[in-house]
Chain A
């Protein structure tokens, strides 16, 4: 299954749009985009997930990786996560690292 992670910037906001299936084989691509966002000193990281169908354990770890790569005061907002992904994030406690939102913050 294909996977895409595309990083764009809007002022101090970094937006990574995720598509497809995020698993052990594709997690590295995601991590690279997170590192690029961190290098750009983003003040807000938005992960657009409405086209993300699946996130495995390794994919979810990417969220914790992002939290650790970014400064403490940088918010990470997940937009459009499907129910299964959001539920899993909460069950394993990764929701402490991120916020959920229905829309890309202004």
Chain B
């Protein structure tokens, strides 16, 4: 193609200077890394600290054997970077990889293997798993192929939303599972495009942020097996095993078969943004899909094994991730790689934030020991392109490091607050000694985040990993038989309670209690300070039949059943109103922990109560927490919020704290009341007939708002 046709007259590097395997080539640009479309050709750049020779291997889509192999001339290498521009490639039909030869004298830890074709760690699209679950050619010598991508999506005026973190309500979902079930009624089930059709549901629910479980390219057949009991195919459904850190999962795109997954995913982001919904990605940098010494060689291992992985002195893989290897995140090269990757997603895909899986690994040094000042965490905290991105750490790992409250946050990072989850669960089942901790969690966990404020705490009761909310109150123990490991896998410490019968029951009292507990949990979660996160489906009582580790199920067990939105409409309505209540009351979203200073009307920002106003019960046996918050209302002026949770099996009559002159208690929610009296639309709450006391039913919670009576 001529230079003029590309619209860059006068560029003097748009023509070849040599010929290799029938292609015109010239020395390439080392930066940026990866494959980049340039005038008339493609610039390939790949690095390896130890390689003695590198070849570019070119395939046509769908053909097993390469059609060309171009050895990089020695003079095309600068430092450890090999770069070459190749002219005249059909960039849509080409797949590429690298053949990398190691040094004559290998270093300990080297695993160069020139018999294999390596994928590009910077590949912006990958082929090989284009259609979810499609039959796999197990003998393909190069199964995950790098593909060229044109980063020219038409974003119009879209940009990341920059929703104020205090206003966020996060909704964690699995792209495929959200619409794969036929009940979703979408035109392209289980895809990015399918999710777009459910945006009205998310809007109606009121959430303003989706946290997508892994969407970086992974292989659903990784560790795939057949359940010996049921004969059912088990997949790597969750996707916590990344193949392509720069490539969106093709199998989540209805257009993956045409290689248009990047466009389809970008369109999803654009449509979510148009609806005011931010996009957070769950990213997995603690390990890769290459596994341990018995795992496949995909890319990193054959380029620079000792750089990318934490190795024992004997050259084996440290396994802090529980999956075979540990990504060496604080090696300077790997740190830059992670930064390049996140910058790409923030800049090219307009992503609003990232949740880091097993993030405690990110602050381990190259020998595996935790660092006081981990460079990667600090780099991400201060990066200009990531400045407005949420950074959320899952602040523990599988190597025993638990850093909730102590993860190095640089006044920038938030954490999945595992202690919030545990405290709520303990209180709701009336565990001894749980009342005091619940109080601390409701006001944003000042014990953990005193200097960081409430937004360091991402509050949740459930997430993808563990019981769903409905199952939390329907099962004492996990029931993971369908995972094919005799119920050995999954967490045994769930802090769950079946409310009187294990699993399905027709006992109306048990069912009523379960329904109440789900409302209690949602009310407490959405009225707690910090950033709340809801697991998709919990708002409609989705069950996994007691399975608390559904990572391998691609089917009804893990999919969203949209019939529930109708069948459990009562819970859905309750959750919607709680989300709306949160939006209506800035006090609940305050970045600061409340203290004893005056909030409004002569009352302190926070005070604690019991059966008698001003007399909280923090004893070991207490199952009652009552909190009064006083502060500024959305429209200015003072207001007061009273939240009382009774985990006891008997009702309690509580004396209400006195309000300043002119203010009246209104009832927002009472989980002990039958619908539709269980919740009221914010702003239209009815005044309480008795302003001096309220009865909180057995294992129920109430929320009141004190304001002038209109």
Q: Which residues of A contact B (CB under 8 A)?
A: 23-25, 28, 56-58, 60-61, 64, 67-68, 87-88, 90-94, 97
Contacts and interface: CB of A to CB of B under 8 A. Distances in A.
A46 B363 CA distance: 57
Interface string B254-269: 1100111001101100
B91 interface: yes
Contacts of B93: 24
Given A28-B5, A57-B150, A91 B92 contact: no
21 contacts: A24-B92, A24-B93, A57-B92, A58-B92, A60-B260, A68-B154, A87-B254, A88-B255, A88-B258, A90-B193, A91-B191, A91-B254, A91-B260, A91-B267, A92-B255, A92-B263, A93-B263, A93-B267, A93-B270, A93-B271, A97-B154
B92 A23 contact: yes
Nearest to B270: A93
B255 A91 contact: yes
B88 to A, nearest CB: 11
Nearest to B154: A64
Output the residue of B193, B196, B253, B270 with the most chain A CB within 10 A: B193
A30 B260 CA distance: 20
Nearest to A88: B255
B152 interface: yes
Given A58-B91, A91-B253, 11 more contacts: A56-B92, A56-B258, A58-B150, A88-B255, A91-B188, A91-B267, A92-B260, A93-B263, A93-B266, A93-B270, A93-B271
Output the residue of A57, A68, A87, A92 with the most chain B CB within 10 A: A92
Nearest to A58: B92
A92 B263 CA distance: 6
Nearest to B271: A93
B152 to A, nearest CB: 7
B255 A24 contact: no
Interface string B428-462: 00000000000000000000000000000000000
B91 A24 contact: yes
A61 B150 CA distance: 10
B598 interface: no
A56 B94 CA distance: 13
B615 interface: no
Contacts of A61: 150, 152
A58 B37 CA distance: 13
B90 interface: yes
A91 B264 contact: yes
Nearest to B93: A24
Interface in B85-106: 90-93
Nearest to A28: B5
B1 interface: yes
A26 to B, nearest CB: 11
B154 A57 contact: no
B267 A25 contact: no
A68 B463 CA distance: 43
